[in-house]
Structure 1
């Protein structure tokens, strides 16, 4: 039985659709369907069925996918072990961080790391969503919350402050008739977004976006008041920070899979990120 066929079935089981599995695996929709068809031919089982406008796994497909999950976890464990044990002359370390931190703080520091560790190539992924260390979606993650994966080892490496910001000529103060520049509704459960909506007390939302790098210029353009990280907005001459109510800080957590703790390259990159955040702790806290 071809492991690649099982891997494609597992991706459909995990993501819930052929198109989503194709994006995750970096292949086209037809390849996923062809792999599952090959697995059906080998097993004699019907694994996939059409439902409405999409497709879904059959009961047998769900059971086979569940077994494939275990196989995939073990295969990934072998890859992590190999990565941790070998000391290659050239190493790549994939780091997943919030886009704002990647853009405004970490990228500029990587030249320093490159000078002292020229054999390490850092792939920095600016991602707002959580990634799985177990599934090797990244080697290191920097997030605003501690990881929930039991196989992750995390340390708190700092705190990040938020503030309310509006254009310098925005006509309304905190007690006036103002509107919000806000994340879109699918992000309303973020702690900082919950605080903002409670603070706004029903004031209208004049603009929404799914990325902080869009919210900042929207506030600068006078579309409303935005809740932004202080390190990102304090240096913007087109914005002013409102005094008064202040949202709670968010912790910054650096996490690695327990299997990669002994990897010299991963450890070097993690220590560098922690040192950069410590160096900029006042900037992160908006003081």
Structure 2
């Protein structure tokens, strides 16, 4: 198959999936006229008529079902070839999207990525900050740096150490607790609070350890924080009665399907090498 045939198939499949020329053009980032021309070229080359006009847009003709199935087979083969070629590329060049928590993204990872970029200038990093877990099966990120008891969702990874948590406050006696909300309400400290702190002793809170740090520094209450977050705020002090064993493994992980892609494995190994000295003392 020549390149022109494959390009035309891309346009035909886009019309089928999106139901109109305009929607297909938007998805492909081209003009309406380009889509119309490429579909017409395919139909003329193969002496077939693929679509009928309906009130909702373009609909495949009933007799074209096998044609479209064959087109999808071609598309899957081409995409599989692209993935194989990408996986065989040994040069550390290209985009790498790294997802992590807002705390790690703001305090730890920028400096690490700068040093990796200096050593491997062909890498182009995007840092995705979110306390909710990225679904890598939808390719929202390539690598995650995640504090978690374990890995799921087809992920494979290595431990970079562990996050240790402690209780912090500004020294004001008798303070109530700040709630760990949103994605943080599933964390190990939040589970301990649910088991050990009366609801009447918990007041307003936040869904970010960075925000909780600021609230505690302003005297709003006491809160759990990762020690790398809390120790960086001079207005706060650790509570010596923090529950023991309050640690969570820190993983550097990616999907098994891309685990052997050279630039991803290189970045994973670089991240591990630079995170371990920071969190090794807190490793579980």
- Same fold by TM-score greater than 0.5: yes
The reply on whether 1:133 has 2:133 as its aligned counterpart is no
Task: Return the offset for 1:138.
Answer: 0.9
Q: 1:37-72: per-residue Cα shift (whole Å, max 9, x none)?
A: 998741599xxxxxxxxxxxxxxxxxxxxxxxxx99
Task: Return the offset for 1:224.
Answer: 0.5
Q: Is the 8 A contact 1:179 1:224 kept in 2?
A: yes
TM-score, length basis structure 2: 0.69
Going from structure 1 to structure 2, the CA distance change for 1:77 and 1:144 (only over 3 Å counts) comes to: farther
Name the structure 2 match of 1:32.
none
Going from structure 1 to structure 2, the CA distance change for 1:39 and 1:240 (only over 3 Å counts) comes to: farther
Q: Work out the CA distance in 1 between the residues paired with 2:15 and 2:254.
A: 29
Q: Is the 8 A contact 1:140 1:255 kept in 2?
A: yes
Name the structure 2 match of 1:216.
213
Q: Work out the CA distance in 2 between the residues paired with 1:38 and 1:153.
A: 48
Q: Work out the CA distance in 2 between the residues paired with 1:283 and 1:113.
A: 23
Name the structure 1 match of 2:268.
270
Task: Return the offset for 1:154.
Answer: 1.7
Q: Work out the CA distance in 1 between the residues paired with 2:165 and 2:16.
A: 45
Q: 1:133-159: per-residue Cα shift (whole Å, max 9, x none)?
A: 222111111112233223x22222211
Going from structure 1 to structure 2, the CA distance change for 1:185 and 1:232 (only over 3 Å counts) comes to: closer
Task: Return the offset for 1:121.
Answer: 1.5
Name the structure 2 match of 1:157.
160
Count of residues paired in the alignment: 229
Name the structure 2 match of 1:42.
59
Q: Is the 8 A contact 1:260 1:266 kept in 2?
A: yes
Decide which of 101, 105, 119 is 2:108's aligned counterpart.
105
Q: Is the 8 A contact 1:157 1:254 kept in 2?
A: yes
Aligned CA RMSD, in angstroms, stands at 3.4
Decide which of 171, 187, 190 is 1:190's aligned counterpart.
187
The reply on whether 1:238 has 2:235 as its aligned counterpart is yes
Q: Is the 8 A contact 1:7 1:72 kept in 2?
A: no
The reply on whether 1:119 has 2:117 as its aligned counterpart is no
Q: Is the 8 A contact 1:180 1:225 kept in 2?
A: yes
Going from structure 1 to structure 2, the CA distance change for 1:128 and 1:89 (only over 3 Å counts) comes to: closer
- Structure 1 portions without partners, runs of 5+: 10-24, 28-36, 46-70, 173-177
TM-score, length basis structure 1: 0.68
Q: Work out the CA distance in 2 between the residues paired with 1:271 and 1:89.
A: 12
The reply on whether 1:148 has 2:152 as its aligned counterpart is yes
Alignment of 1:48-67 (within 5 A): none
